[in-house]
Amino acid sequence: MSAAPRGHAESGLLDPDEPPAFAIVNARGAGSAILVCDHASNRIPRRLSTLGLAPEQLADHIGWDPGAAEVAQRLSAELDAPLVQSGYSRLVIDCNRPLDNAASIAEQSAGIQVPGNLGLSARARAARVEALFRPYHEAIDRLLDARSDRPSLLLSIHSFTPVLHGEQRPWPVGVSHWRDRRFAALLSKPLARRVDGIVGDNQPYPIEEAVDYTVPVHGEGRGLHAVMIEIRNDGLRETAQIGAWAERLAAAYREIEAEAVSLGRWRVDI
């Protein structure tokens, strides 16, 4: 695993001995898949303490996507795919939100107020952008630039809570797309044969340009077919479960890889 120290000196947010904004796993991976994990960590920069939250709140789904990084890392090995994963909590700044979205630096999440995000100055917000958001996305850009001469498919790995706002979410996994749904439709079919339940079609979250950043910008924004994979996190509590999900996803991907690669550049289906 490798990472660059970018973000420490520029913003003053991270101390020199703190981890960088992102890590790259299997940077030289030669497979067709490129993996990203926007909510891989619940770490808070030391200078921000705990954002006023209790440890159990930071460990819950509001702080990160539990299990997503472990699945992504195993999938990286299965598919020989490079992986870029974020290094800090989505509550510091959400790497999958446009900077003008209110949830970019959320003042509340799932009904829980985040005291350390209240009343931030423009300078404080900019420090988080420069230390965490920008280095993470620049790392993805560099990786994609280096692979621009070969077919690539982008998979963004997430997890979701089984219950949100009192509503049960029945899907064990969901595959979401933005405007071109062909890659998502291909991947969902073999995945459905490998799970106990219905694969969510743009569930539990659809991809929307005003809400999501990674797939619109690094996927279709570059002409790449891209999906967001959401795994229900009650199926990621044990090491064996995490391994099983990585194997399911890898097997489903391999089954449709050639056809997905042959799609070429994305298009909006009319």
Q: What is the pLDDT of residue 42?
A: 99
> Could you tell me if residue 145 is inside a domain?
yes
Q: What is the pLDDT of residue 49?
A: 97
Q: What is the pLDDT of residue 264?
A: 82
Helices (H), the chain: 8-11, 55-59, 68-79, 122-128, 134-146, 182-192, 214, 239-261
Q: Which residues of the chain carry a pLDDT beneath 50?
A: 3-7, 9, 270
Q: What is the pLDDT of residue 5?
A: 46
User: 238 lies in which domain range?
Assistant: 8-261
pTM exceeds 0.85, yes or no:
yes
SS3 at position 8: helix
> Could you tell me if residue 267 is inside a domain?
no
User: Positive or negative, the Cα torsion across 11, 16, 21, 27?
Assistant: positive
The predicted-structure confidence for 119-137, as pLDDT tens digits, reads as follows 999 999 999 999 999 999 9
Q: What is the pLDDT of residue 11?
A: 63
Contact 215, 152 (CB under 8 A): no
Instruction: Let me know if 56 is exposed, middle or buried by CB neighbors in 10 A (0-12, 13-18, 19+).
Output: exposed
Q: How many independent structural domains does the chain possess?
A: 1
> Could you tell me if residue 269 is inside a domain?
no
Instruction: Write the CATH number for 201.
Output: 3.40.630.40
Q: What is the pLDDT of residue 12?
A: 85
Q: What is the pLDDT of residue 4?
A: 43
Q: What is the pLDDT of residue 268?
A: 52
Q: What is the pLDDT of residue 10?
A: 53
Q: What is the DSSP letter of 70?
A: H
> Could you tell me if residue 138 is inside a domain?
yes
> Could you tell me if residue 268 is inside a domain?
no
What gap in Å lies between CA 187 and CA 185, rounded to an integer? 6
> Could you tell me if residue 266 is inside a domain?
no
Q: What is the pLDDT of residue 8?
A: 52
